[in-house]
Structure 1
Amino acid sequence: MNALSGAYDWLTTGANWQGDKGVGNRLAEHLYFSGVALAVSCALALPLALWLGHIGRGGALAVNISNVGRAVPTLAVLVLLTLTPLGEHGDLPTLIALVLFAVPPLLTNAYLGMREVDRAVVEAARGMGMSGRQVFARVELPLAYPLVTAGIRSAAVQVVATATLAAMAGEGGLGRIITAGFNLQNTPQVVAGALLVAALALLVEAVLVIAGRLFDPMRGRAGAAR
């Protein structure tokens, strides 16, 4: 309780929110790392996974290869990238490590979502004269949408939580608050930093859940069916 009350006092102190080392700036850095990494991961993984799921070839191999990456600790990847010439390019090692961490859930969920679409529905659409592109856009993608968005939410939450490791490479983000607390032996600051990361992860997931429902392509169709 003392740590929690101390964390509350730390969070409600205005000085801790100001300046380059304040919560406001660290939060902006954290959102930058997380947002860029998630955007790049989606751009790389989703088109590939959806296409492989559509043609039904090579997807299992791609998913298995991507899942091997989950066994490699993100911190180890970050340290290795920092020691390479990439370490001279600022936050590039951190972004690459986060992208590699986010790709597996995106790739797996998108591919499985496409492959779990009822084949009878796909064949019926083709029997109605739909082209391959129309079947993909009007049948497979809408039906795979729930699993695709679940993968995006999972990747987003994992990236937000893992982005704290950027502090280990000397970069910014909310992880710097936690590491600074450890260095100062300030337990309330450590707890405050952890609470900020947890709150941000929950907020991101909530926003993505709402966005997923708003943009669900089956939303209007379900209403029309009722």
Structure 2
Amino acid sequence: MFQYSLGRNNAGLVVIGDTLTLRDLYRRLHEIAEASPLTRGAKGEFFLGFAYEVRHAMQGDRERFKPQEAQEVGPAFGFRVVWPFLLGIVATMRASMAFFPSTSGQQAVVYSLESMLEDAIRDAFKTRADAVQNAWRQLRPEHDAFLTPLLDARCAAFCSWTKQQRGTYLPALLESTDPMYGKWLYSHKDQPPAALLDPKELESWVGADWPSVRW
């Protein structure tokens, strides 16, 4: 079972689990990456960047937590993840399982991550939680450019934002990974919604390194 701790400045969260939980997550990520057509080539390398963090957390290279409850045995380990990266990776895991005969173990890991995220989103975004949840659920990882370059660039842009910008624009950032986003925005150029983002600004982050996220 996964737990979480919210980061500062609306940056993201620390995903927390014991050794067995993280080991199982690491295994399932590699199984999905190998079987899914959504994680081929550079997209697979980007996807497995999440597994890289899981592995280092298991090794004690990230964050370590003492048992909080009497029934917990041994320490738990955690790793920091920015919001758009985590939401995009979990959405890709879910979408990938439509392309191969997924196992109960793979499905259980995804359900557990989704359950954790639902709680974390409500905890972090309060009145904006529904907007974030809806944008997350409508992600389209089947689109060929979803992981790279789109999600990669959106994560870079997100890291550059202030706390207020992250809280306001995360739903629009997720929506902007839709291939029709720019055309839809253009059709509403006379009266654009307040929380939409300029596609040209987002495009400028393609291929850029992620700035320091200020945890």
TM-score interval (norm. to shorter):
under 0.3
Higher fraction of helix: 1
Please give the TM-score of this superposition, normalised by the length of structure 2.
0.22
Larger RCO (CA within 8 A; separation ≥ 6): 1
Please give the TM-score of this superposition, normalised by the length of structure 1.
0.21
Structure whose CA Rg is larger:
1
Higher fraction of strand: 2
